[in-house]
Homo-oligomer: A and B are copies of this chain.
Amino acid sequence: MPHASERTTKYCSALVGCVAVVICAVYVTKSAAQSANVSNASPIFGVTIPPGYRDWKLIAVDELRTDKVDQLRAQLGNEIAIKALKEGKTPFPDGSIIAALHWTRVPSEENNKVLAGPFPGAQSFVVGSAVNVQFMVKDSKKYAATGGWGFADFKNGKPGDEALHKACFPCHEPAKAHDFVFARYAPTP
């Protein structure tokens, strides 16, 4: 396994935050870069937090563990994104927004107490504290250089730095066959 350089490591820290959905980009239009001059918008892409995203519909959930993070995650979509996902259509239409919510993964003592008798060794993990939220915003013209997607990563309401956001699109490129979106619509039980 090759050792990543410091610079690569920094960029790839963003990658970890990007697996489920994502952020960032290397090639970026001038206009998009200009609109990033707003303190509460993501660098490069100028994406701000969409109001009410916490109430969007569920796409899927996932779990990510590295030597640095241990998270439970959920991806939510606005109406345009959800419609496309349900229909299984890509590319996503302009106006689609996908939100990736990340929390720490913590053992639930309350649940484990209930499980302990009948299921010795059972482990329940629940959401701990909020870590960050990421967005992918589809605008095929504005973000033509990055697969039609603008990216954003926020922690406590504040966007990450430019280096972080530069890593978003390269990370998502392997998901090109699904319009650069890693998340799949979870089946309805």
Contacts and interface: CB of A to CB of B under 8 A. Distances in A.
Interface of A: 1-2, 4, 8-9, 12-13, 15-16, 19-20, 54-58, 60-68, 72-74, 76, 82, 101-103, 105, 108, 110-111, 113-127, 129-133, 154-155, 171, 174-175, 182, 184, 186-189
Contacts of A73: 61
B129 A187 contact: yes
Contact of A124 (B12, B56, B62, B102): B62
Contacts of A130: 186-189
**Copies of this protein, total:** 2
A155 to B, nearest CB: 8
A64 B122 contact: yes
B121 A174 contact: no
Contact of A15 (B72, B115, B120): B115
A62 B67 contact: no
A113 to B, nearest CB: 7
